[in-house]
Amino acid sequence: MASEDIDSNLKEQPQSLGTAWYMVVLCMIAYLFSFVDRQIVALLIEPIRADLHISDTQFSLIHGLAFAIFYAVMGLPIARLADTKSRPVIIAIGIAVWSIATAVCGTAKSFFQLFAARMAVGVGEAALSPAAYSMITDAFPKSKLGVALGVYSMGSFLGAGLAYIIGGVAIEMVTKIGIVEMPIIGTVKPWQMTFFIVGLPGLLIAALFFLTVKDPERKGVVQGDSGYSIGEVFAYIGQNKGSFTAHYVGFGLLALVLYALMSWAPAFFLRNFELTTREVGLYLGTLVLVCNVGGVLTSGWLIDFFTKRGRTDAALIAAIVGGVGALIPAALFPFMPNLTTTLIVLGVALYFASFPMATSAAALQWMAPNQMRAQVTALFFLFMNLFGITGGSSLVALSTDYLFKDEQLVGYSMAIVACAAALIAVVLMARGLAAFRKTVSDLQQA
């Protein structure tokens, strides 16, 4: 695919740009809802552990592995469809599935029931990002892609922030109501009711997506309507193993940093400060909305800044900046003397740890042909979820349960896991810059 093909829509008409930005905003809102449904469980850690009689390690399996395993496994076949079929329809179905599955979490009476429901949430959410990244790339010129993907990625942190804030308020509200009896379902405790409150509204977004979003014309199509087989995708990755190793492993480790901090931040503050769930939700929600969203927007700006100056490795450079910036604050936050300084230092860590959310997507769109993008993105999410999300959640729990053997020291576990992952990621990605530039150059000259 020639470079002119990528930039062929630089002279888009205002109406098409307006349509493109509407699509991005709606994708961002869908991403927001997905993270509310994904992250609300972190704020419910204490009542879930108490009612289901589970350890930190078991909770990490519900929060991380249960979601990640089906998110990862279903991502590939769904992405195969997204490379050739209607992407808005695929996304709409995914939103409906994860919204219903989140509500079903509220019916769980045991560890295994909640684990199964969380797996279904992962199946639904697997439909969103591969299709969304592919659509956004087709709707924008390369010089504006970083900002567009940054706006989309911002939805994850808007969702995480609102999950903390709205979740904290909802938990307090339903706690005051107490246990209720519902037809068919039976006894519903406050933490279970919270899943109903945050899950079901997503069905409205699914309907809006299905009815109002038009699939943009695919750019740089070179393989006909059938797209690439998974064998061809793996062969392409093998031919460019240096750049894909730096990307998949490097960004997977940076995802581990982010999830190690975000998954266990509620538990850290609930266990070490005299705070209510609502207060923790308000503090963390505000932190995420300011710091994480700011980090995503900054990284998107950095990508466009370096791209306009001819750097084809702009996405990796921005990610390396984020990894380096997160190291010191991630190591220091558990040792701060009071709540205010702890929040400030953790906020700095979250700001830099958020850079990869936009940069990982932008990099992939430059590394693969059009009708392979959704599949290489799904493979990345497979790796990132099984390695990053599961690792970020479970490694912290294992360290707390078996190394420190004290739930009050969960902050130490967060710091160790985050810093080790960030350091390895930065070294690996710095060594992969040349290979990444070659892959992008070869694709542009094809």
Residue 407 carries which DSSP code? G
Specify the 3-state DSSP secondary structure of 13.
coil
Tens-of-pLDDT digits for all 446 residues of the chain? Answer: 333 343 443 344 434 778 889 999 999 999 988 888 887 888 888 889 889 999 888 988 888 888 887 777 787 788 778 877 889 999 999 999 999 999 999 999 899 999 999 988 888 888 888 888 888 888 887 777 777 877 887 787 788 888 888 888 888 888 888 888 878 777 888 889 989 988 999 999 999 999 998 888 776 555 545 567 778 888 998 999 999 999 999 999 999 999 899 989 999 999 999 898 889 989 999 998 999 889 988 988 888 888 888 888 888 999 999 999 999 999 999 999 999 999 999 999 999 999 887 778 778 878 888 778 777 877 887 788 777 878 888 899 999 999 999 999 999 999 999 999 999 999 999 999 999 999 888 887 76
Q: How many residues does the chain have?
A: 446
Instruction: Kindly report whether the global pTM for this prediction surpasses the value 0.75.
Output: yes
Q: Which domains does the chain have, with CATH numbers?
A: 16-214+227-445 (1.20.1250.20)
Structural contact between residues 320 and 360, judged by C-beta atoms closer than 8 angstroms? no
Question: 443, 262, 259, 257: which is closest to 363 by C-alpha?
Answer: 443
Between CA 206 and CA 400 the distance in angstroms is 39
Question: 436, 241, 435, 429: which is closest to 319 by C-alpha?
Answer: 429
Residue 11: how many CB atoms within 10 A of its CB?
8
What is the distance in angstroms between the CA of the first residue and the CA of the last residue of the chain? 5
Between CA 45 and CA 396 the distance in angstroms is 14
Question: 251, 267, 248: which is closest to 414 by C-alpha?
Answer: 267
Residue 229: how many CB atoms within 10 A of its CB?
13
